[in-house]
Amino acid sequence: MIFLINAIAIFASFSLNQIHAVYWGAILPTLYAIVVAPQALIARPEIPASAITKILADKWDNAEDLTAYIVKYWMAFAHPATSGKKQRNSLILYLTSFFLGIVYFLRELFVAGTIVFVMGYILYQMSLRADRPRSVYANTDFRDGSDNEFAREEWELAAMSIVAISDLYPDDRALKVSANEVSEDEDVKSLLAKHRHDGRMGVTGSRPAA
């Protein structure tokens, strides 16, 4: 839907002769950057980090590392059903913003160009964070880590965090299904054998609102 609306707006910007039509293509990226992006960039869990660590420590010997990663990408973990869509939308819209920014500067619309470049940068940052844990887990370059040891470390954190988030919300079916799927990965099994242990589950949190 975002792709279609964005395409129509860009087409209108360059095909209509109205004086303000050139700005129509920038409306959707600007609204998305102002309304949606902050949720991915600054949202924090309703469970305190110390409580998350305490819950995870019952089953994980690297609970602090998992807590830091989960808190950093909380929106991606809390809303797995929509995080992938938000990542795709932000990718489309930040490319649109940068394209329009160049067009505006070429037309000497410097204020408009600066604004859409800023919106594009915000959306670019959102595209990196909105669904990063699952994107990292699915990325073979991160999994292999042949050129970058930190890439492999993040892949391990992402994989374990996808499993660990279900320990915070054990009654959430979607999170449980996702955790079970990742747990079947042979590489992840070795990580679980190393870092996860049986333990008494602590007090869990309530499911975050969508």
pLDDT exceeds 80 at position 70: yes
Domain that holds residue 93: 2-195
Tell me, what amino acid is at 100? L
Question: Is residue 201 domain-resident?
Answer: no
pTM: 0.83
Question: Is residue 129 domain-resident?
Answer: yes
- Tens-digit pLDDT profile for residues 2-44: 899 999 999 999 888 888 889 999 999 999 999 999 988 887 8
Question: Is residue 206 domain-resident?
Answer: no
Question: Is residue 204 domain-resident?
Answer: no
Number of domains in the chain: 1
Q: How far is CA 40 from the centre of its chain?
A: 6
- Tens-digit pLDDT profile for residues 158-204: 999 999 999 999 999 989 999 999 999 999 999 999 999 864 444 44
Task: Classify residue 72 as exposed, middle or buried by CB count within 10 Å of its CB (0-12, 13-18, 19+).
Answer: middle
